[in-house]
Amino acid sequence: MKYIDEFRDGDVARKLAAAIASEVSPARRYRFMEFCGGHTHAISRYGIADFLPDNVRMIHGPGCPVCVLPIGRVDQAIRLALEHGVILCTYGDCLRVPASSALSLLKAKALGGDIRMIYSCADAVALARRNPDKQVVFFAIGFETTTPPTAVAIKQAAALGLSNFSVLCCHVLTPPAIASIMEGADEQLQLDGFVGPAHVSTIIGSRPYEPFATRYRKPVVIAGFEPLDVLQAIRMLIRQVNEGRAEVENEFSRAVDRDGNRKAQALMDEVFELRESFEWRGLGTLPYSARRLRAEFAGFDAEHRFALAYRPVADHKGCDCGEILRGIKRPQDCKLFGTVCTPENPIGSCMVSSEGACAAHYTYGRHKSA
């Protein structure tokens, strides 16, 4: 595949790995967090750890949309399907996220809930148009990448005057999650830098990361999701560390600039406002870290339409997803990993999506810890 294979070239990877090996200082260690699940997936799938010297360690961060979804939000979606009889639409990975009472959306579907996996939120609007006698709810999750399409769907529904379409909005923001890691977990983690998000940064640009570089003195290198992107970003982080710099650099310049996609940002601002607080799985309740529909669009807000209360639910006692999402533990450190908790029967959300740290390690890398 043209324009993709070039970023997966094994020969270039070996040269980059040799360059990294020659640039690291053997006397010190390098601990970098990749924020995004997309990077976690690439690191596991392409075996990028095999290319790194022993003193360079990658720590998985919380940037996997389904991983940070708390049980209480999945419960709300299940209640909509089972108690309110709506057609509930969502993206595929959401279906297996564990919820209360040993349920998930997949199991709620087997109990009779009308739950549909869709590829685009425009499909949910189309479903609402085709089923005027049914309420259709789009369970909207994800970071800044998936938020603008949801805004478009809501505006489209408003333009069409659809009275049977609404959104259960669980869109979250990247910068508050990074700040939470910096404020909370870093005493234990002692990170030396961040691999910054790829697709999220195409929307928000590189500017929002600048405070992390200045305030916390941590280098940030924004990287694409291809394996050579990740290796190159690691090399750039190592150089910053070696030179004592803490700057925002952009490896993914073919898609990201400092300002991001202003049109998408304007759309998000038009349709959504910030919630005062939002519960994340693993990170706790973070202020101004998620979005809800503005008052003008309240008619399309499923929480409003169905008077859904939010009830927080504690995670499974043995599950270490919280520590894993904050980078404090590795998947194989959790006693449930690979025994009680597997991709077929996930106990925690990190075992669900292939972008989740546990599922990525289980699926691609568990032979190394076996």
Helix (H, G, I), strand (E, B) or coil at 241: helix
- C-alpha distances out from residue 270 to 154, 266, 296, Å: 11, 6, 9
Task: Find the helix or strand (DSSP H, E) in which 32 lies.
Answer: strand 30-36
Q: Which of 338, 348, 350, 356 binds another protein (CB under 8 A)?
A: 338
Phi, psi dihedral angles at 326 (to 5 degrees): -85, 0
Give, as ranges, the residues between 278 and 317 that touch another protein (CB under 8 A).
Answer: none
Q: Which of 305, 345, 350, 356 binds another protein (CB under 8 A)?
A: 345
Q: Which of 84, 114, 118, 149 binds another protein (CB under 8 A)?
A: 118
Q: Which of 54, 133, 187, 344 binds another protein (CB under 8 A)?
A: 344
Phi, psi dihedral angles at 201 (to 5 degrees): -70, -25
> According to the binding rule CB under 8 A, does residue 227 interact with another protein?
yes
Site string for another protein, 70-109 (x = CB under 8 A): ----------------------x--xx-----x---xx-x
For the CB of residue 68, give the shortest distance to another protein in the complex, in Å: 19
* CA 280 – CA 260 distance, rounded (Å): 25
Number of helices and strands in the chain (H, E)? 16, 13
Segment contacting another protein (CB under 8 A): 4-12, 154-162, 198-206, 254-262?
4-12
DSSP 94-157: GGG---GGG--HHHHHHTT-EEEE-SSHHHHHHHHHH-TTS-EEEEEEESTTTHHHHHHHHHHH
Closer Cβ to another protein, 3 or 161, answer by number: 3
For the CB of residue 110, give the shortest distance to another protein in the complex, in Å: 4
Residue 155 tokens read as 């505006």
For the CB of residue 197, give the shortest distance to another protein in the complex, in Å: 17
* CA 245 – CA 214 distance, rounded (Å): 10
* CA 215 – CA 48 distance, rounded (Å): 30
The contacts of residue 232 (CB under 8 Å, 6+ apart) are: 16, 223, 251
> According to the binding rule CB under 8 A, does residue 119 interact with another protein?
yes
Site string for another protein, 184-213 (x = CB under 8 A): ------------------------------
> According to the binding rule CB under 8 A, does residue 132 interact with another protein?
no
Segment contacting another protein (CB under 8 A): 42-50, 206-214, 234-242, 269-277?
42-50
For the CB of residue 240, give the shortest distance to another protein in the complex, in Å: 25
> According to the binding rule CB under 8 A, does residue 362 interact with another protein?
yes
The contacts of residue 115 (CB under 8 Å, 6+ apart) are: 81, 87, 88, 89, 90, 95, 105, 106, 108, 109
The gap from C-alpha 6 to its chain's centroid, in whole angstroms, comes to 26
Segment contacting another protein (CB under 8 A): 6-14, 20-28, 139-147, 305-313?
6-14
Which residues of the shown chain bind another protein in the complex (CB under 8 A)? 1, 4, 8-10, 13-14, 44-48, 50-51, 92, 95-96, 102, 106-107, 109-111, 118-119, 123, 126, 227, 338-340, 342-345, 359, 362-367, 370
